[in-house]
Amino acid sequence: MDQLDKQKAFEEETKRISETVSKIKHRIAVFSGKGGVGKTTVSVNLAYAFHMNGFSIGILDADITGPNVPKMLGVDGKPIVLSNKFLPFEKFGVKMISIASLIQSGQPVIWRGPMRSKVINQFLADVDWGELDYMIADLPPGTGDEILTIAQQMKPDYAVVVTTPQEVSVLDAERAINMARKLDIPFVGVVENMSGFICPHCGAVLNIFGEGGGKKLADDCGVPFLGSVPIDMDARILGDKGKPIVLEKPNCEVTNAFKSISNLIQEHYQKESQAK
């Protein structure tokens, strides 16, 4: 392929991405400064909290080297291709695409940044998402190429930064907030995950990772604090079984937390719409 052909292919892909994005009302990127804070758990359950309110939702698994969304949804197999477009998986009424569905189970993705970014471009250009109220992009931890690609191509209008109460997590989450700002994502909110362990026997809350770190971070950075999500063993057990806790336990503390977070984000968009 010569330079002219490459330029033409790039322009055509850019056009397809623009067409996809134009059909998505709200685009949320879920960030974390470090791994292991439950970012995918937040992404998946937040998506279903929106869906429970009647919205059409898509989840883009942008963590190319550590894709976990299919596992948490119990999705197996490869996506169908129809008219040169991938059809996203649909599970419990929510659409989803992930590199995990395109590679052999357990196979490592040992790719440099441009290759990982190319996959994300394809997820936006060549997947038939249709019209969506919300797309949630589950990003990898840190500040790598995938995040830059999502910011440039998906054009998120809200960044949800996930932290735990632990000081080292809060420190990294502050970097994620500042990165979201540098990428010109207009609104940022903080979610504190693993805020306390709910004892399944007595119901007492144990603050294993500390307390209040997420709220303090949000206050210090001047961004909204969206809420705290406690540790619940069932969230882990159900996640491993491919069943989001917000669907399986609709009245538990974890589900109530995700409902509250989704409501705050919805209220934000309503206020933005009214202000225009």
Cα torsion 89, 90, 95, 98: sign = negative
Mean pLDDT of 100-126: 83
Inter-residue contact 159 to 188 (CB < 8 Å)? yes
The pLDDT tens digits for 136-154 are 999 988 777 888 999 999 9
| 146 SS3 class | helix
For residue 51, how far is the Cα from the chain centroid?
14
The pLDDT assigned to 120 comes to 93
Q: Phi and psi for 222 in degrees, rounded to 5?
A: 70, 35
| 63 SS3 class | coil
The pLDDT tens digits for 154-186 are 999 999 999 998 888 888 999 999 999 999 999
DSSP H helices, the chain, are 3-22, 39-52, 69-73, 113-125, 145-153, 167-182, 213-221, 233-240, 245-248, 253-275
Buried b / exposed e over 104-114, threshold 16 CB at 10 Å, is eeeeebeeeee
- Confidence band (pLDDT; 50, 70, 90) for 1? low
Inter-residue contact 188 to 158 (CB < 8 Å)? yes
Q: Where are the domains of the chain?
A: 26-275
∠ CA 90-17-143, nearest 5°, is 85
Q: Per CATH, is 26-275 categorized as 3.40.50.300? A: yes
